[in-house]
Amino acid sequence: MLSEFQIADLILNGFNKHFSLFQQITHKAHYAFSQANWQSVHQANSDRICFYDKRVNETILSLKKSIPDQLDKSLWLKVRATFQNYLQFHPQAELAESFYNSVFCRLFHRRYFNNDFIFVETTIKENIPVPIESEYQSYFPVIEGLKPTIKNIIEQFDFKAPFIDLSRDIKLLVNAFLKQSPDTHHRAYQMRFDILKQAFYRNKAAYIIGRVVSKSGIQPFIIPILHHKDNGLYLDALLTDSTQMRVIFGFARAYFMVDTSAPSALVQFLNQLMPNKTPAELYSAIGFHKQGKTQFYRELHSHLKNANDKFIPAPGTRGMVMMVFTLPSFPYVFKVIRDKFGEGKPFGRKTVLQRYQLVKQHDRVGRMADTIEYSNVALPIDTFCPELLQELKETVGSSLEFENDLVIIKHLYIERRMTPLNLYLQKNTDENILSVMDEYGKALKDMISVNIFPGDMLLKNFGVTDHNRVIFYDYDEVQYLTDMNFRKLPKSTGYNDYLLEDVSVSVAPQDVFPEQLTTFVTTNNKVRSALEKFHPELTDVQFWKKAQYNINQGYFTNIYPYPEKQRFMLLW
């Protein structure tokens, strides 16, 4: 029988191993970027997502060899207290708490999931915090001048690859800052730069993130750095607009890869730059999606304590695979897999789970919403409106349990709430319809460029964000683009075979007829015309086959998460 110290040691060692391995694979992004090895960047980002569960399972296997199956309350109260003591000066204390919770919750029944036995509420506020200054370095232009200081900042990242013309880029950077931030024009001796020590890597870009501090206040900024084929590196843009920065850290993008020994300090710094982002969103954005889940769960229950509204069915067309509901005062939707799927869905629950996991591990290129996946979520029964509760019992009854005053949902996906595209189109002007259908076409093109075929391209499966971006959010028919067979519609040669023109023409499940796209997604002529105006190639089978060819040849499209007009390359 292990003591409380031995159990706490074993769990902490499991976490420390996890974090070490997580950082090792994260660090690979630095080298992969220097070599322009984009496949390696994608693979490393995908691999990291599974690391957490592997380490938790390893720890559980070790514990099961030496502890009884039944919870010893006295022992585990001591284990939690001991573990909490271990975290007083631990630089990743909040992540270690979540790791402890994961281990405990997979070992014992949920009736023990309270703050006596796990960290329902974090205790790190009781610790001496990791100083935020540990994650950034300050630079003072008064010493060497503005442009030499900027040059020193960029060179300290040691990207292991030469710049094409760094002096030119610095001039463009300074001019862009003067243009974008007219209220912060100061001389070199009137400002300082606070720069995060590590670059952020994602897809084919590295990002330098920091702020200018002056008497006018604080101006956050992001500088993307790209490769120009075999010629070298270049600064691609300067982003100072808060909306653009939030989009870069948005919920529809792959997680950043960034080295950090103190995630809480890094998140605190980022939160100062983007105060509208929640800690849950920021932890997820920098790759700690399990911690993002923990933070989100706390935010949800904190909100429920003060909310006056109730969960209701989510606005929009009912899905054939998912039952979706929402809390109007909370900007998310909750999705549960139905017990029975509608006609036209020739697959089962296992396939749905696999396809949602596929998207989780894929590059979402700003066009596919991130999902937060939970098991055994307990929600107060009085927070559900009666009509929703009845519908849940009828449609997802096998996923529900009722315990006293709680509804237990065995498996749940949570996504950011958006306005369904079909509803958006019903309520907007002609100008907005043109703009959003252009966005819809761009969303399709962005997804297929990274080997994602959405399957069901109906407008109800896409949402419009507060920034008027179109995002895909229904993944039950997602497949790899390279697995599809794109075909031209057979043409009739006479009256007797006129039926070949019918939309039912198909040969195999993977067959796709792009010519039917505009007819299939909408019956509204105005909406259809807008799509055909901006993206006529989407109905051309050769366009889709060319996309497949590019992917098979290993060509990775650069999807810029900021406006094209702000790119410095346009000024070369």
Question: Concatenated DSSP letters for 278-344?
Answer: -HHHHHHHTT-HHHHHHHHHHHHHHHHHH--S-BEEPSSPPPSSEEEEE-TTSSEEEEEE-SSPPTT
Same domain, yes or no, for 121 and 152? no
Quick: pLDDT tens for 102-151.
999 999 998 999 999 999 999 888 777 789 999 999 999 999 999 999 99
On whether both 242 and 348 belong to a single domain, the answer is: no
Is the pLDDT confidence value at 500 over 60?
Answer: no
Does the annotation list 317 as a binding residue? yes
Statement: residue 491 has pLDDT above 90: no
Does 287 appear as a known binding residue?
no
Q: Do 444 and 544 belong to one domain?
A: yes
Q: Which two tokens stand for residue 349?
A: 């629950």
Pair 425, 413 in one domain: no
Q: Is the pLDDT of residue 495 over 70?
A: no
Distance of CA 518 to the CA centre of its chain: 29
For residue 309, the Cα-to-chain-centroid distance in whole angstroms is 28
d(CA 504, CA 511): 11
Q: Is residue 288 part of a domain?
A: no
- Is pLDDT of 496 > 70? no
Kindly report, residue by residue over 506-560, the tens digit of the pLDDT.
Answer: 568 889 999 999 888 888 899 999 999 999 999 999 999 999 999 999 887 788 8
Q: Average pLDDT of the chain?
A: 92
413 and 452 inside one domain: no
DSSP secondary structure letters along 448-482: HHTTEE-S---GGGEEE-TT--EEE---TT-EEGG
Ligand-binding annotation for 314, yes or no, is yes
- Considering the domain architecture, whether residues 400 and 453 belong to the same structural domain is answered as no
Give the tens place of pLDDT for each residue, 301-336: 999 999 999 999 999 999 999 999 999 999 999 999
Q: Among residues 370, 446, 456, 476, which one is catalytic?
A: 370
**Distance (Å, whole) CA 360 – CA 372:** 9
Write out pLDDT tens, residues 52-78. 999 999 999 999 988 988 999 999 999
Q: Is 320 known to sit in a ligand binding site? A: yes
Are residue 365 and residue 448 in the same domain, yes or no? no
Q: What is the pLDDT of residue 185?
A: 63
Which one of 128, 147, 178 terminates a domain?
Answer: 128
At 187 the pLDDT is 80
Contacts of 429 (CB under 8 A, 6+ apart): none
Does 290 reside within a domain?
no
Residue 105 forms part of a structural domain: yes
Q: Based on the domain organization, do 267 and 140 belong to the same domain?
A: yes
Residue 534 domain-assigned (yes or no): yes
* Residue 291 counted as domain residue: no
Question: Which pLDDT score, from 0 to 100, does residue 504 have?
Answer: 52
469 within a domain of the structure (yes/no): yes
| Same domain flag for 257 and 212 | yes
Query: What are the pLDDT digits (tens) for 399-453?
Result: 999 999 999 999 999 999 999 999 999 988 889 999 999 999 999 999 999 999 9
- Taking the C-alpha atoms of residue 259 and residue 198, their distance in angstroms, rounded to an integer, is 6
pLDDT of residue 509: 83
Residue 194 phi/psi, 5-degree rounding, is -110, 115
Question: Does 96 fall in a domain?
Answer: yes
Specify whether 145 is located in the same domain as 206.
yes
* 255 and 337 housed in the same domain: no
Active site residue 370: yes
* Per-residue tokens: 285: 């954005």
Identify the bridge partners of residue 402 per DSSP, sorted by sequence position: 407
Cα angle 294, 299, 304; round to 5: 130
Structural domain boundaries, residue 481: 421-552
- Over the stretch 189-247, which tens digit does the pLDDT of each residue have? 888 999 999 999 998 999 999 999 988 889 999 999 999 877 899 999 999 998 899 99
pTM: 0.92
If one compares 230 and 375, the residue with the highest pLDDT of the two is 375
Residue pair 490/500 in contact by the 8 Å Cβ criterion:
yes
Better-predicted residue by pLDDT, 558 or 278: 278
CA-CA distance, 530 to 526, in Å (whole number)? Answer: 6
Indicate whether 372 and 434 sit together in one domain: no
The reply, when asked if residue 335 is annotated as ligand binding, is yes
Percent of the chain with pLDDT strictly greater than 70? 96
Instruction: Provide the number of structural domains found in the chain.
Output: 4
Residue 8 lies in a domain: yes
Instruction: Please classify residue 71 by burial: count the beta carbons closer than 10 Å to its beta carbon, then call 0-12 exposed, 13-18 middle and 19+ buried.
Output: middle
